[in-house]
Amino acid sequence: MAQWMIWLVAAGAVVILELFSGTFYLLMIAIGIIAGAAVAYAGGTLEVQLIVAAVVGLLATIILRHSKLGRINRTDSARDPNVNLDIGQAITVDAWQSAPAGGMRPTARVMYRGALWDVELAHEGPATPGQYVIREMQGSRLIVGSHR
């Protein structure tokens, strides 16, 4: 079997591993391996093939890391509506309890999804009865903000 065919078989194996990992990094390494196959097909020596495969794979990985696809999304899951479907839902607060001493925010108990939940006002300001939107969840406590 020719060297370039061995490179392509290796690239195919890495692409298959990529399908199991769910990231694009192994795909970038496979691009480097394909570059090594191209050098082998052109008649380059094994050392040149290895160097080209390593450099192309490394450059492709660096480019991916700096692209939009390679960035790690560091959002707080307590505030992310893609993680918690309750974020953004409207609730009605009938009455607020007076704010406890120590600068804590006003709290209330409301019926939401068939159960009683503790509710805390997310912003400073008047705690009036009415419609609020869930902004965050901290355990079994709903942090709510104005309905805007």
Give the whole-angstrom CA distance, residue 9 versus residue 40. Answer: 13
**What does the pLDDT average to over 117-135?**
84
Please check the confidence at residue 47 and state whether its pLDDT lies above 90: yes
Cβ burial of 133 (10 Å; 0-12, 13-18, 19+) is: middle
Which tens digits make up the pLDDT trace of 58-105? 999 999 888 876 666 667 667 777 777 888 889 988 888 876 666 678
**What does the pLDDT average to over 136-146?**
86
**What does the pLDDT average to over 122-127?**
74
Q: Where are the beta strands (DSSP E) in the chain?
A: 90-93, 107-112, 115-121, 130-138, 141-146
- Tokens of residue 144, six digits: 């709510």
Identify the pLDDT of residue 125: 67
The share of the chain scoring above pLDDT 70, in percent, equals 87
The domain segmentation of the chain, as residue ranges, is 3-70, 90-146
Identify the pLDDT of residue 9: 96
Partnered with residue 62 across adjacent β-strands are none
Please check the confidence at residue 148 and state whether its pLDDT lies above 90: no
Fold of the domain built from segment(s) 90-146 = OB fold (Dihydrolipoamide Acetyltransferase, E2P) (2.40.50)
CA distances 86 to 18, 114, 131, 133, 139, Å, are 34, 14, 15, 9, 12
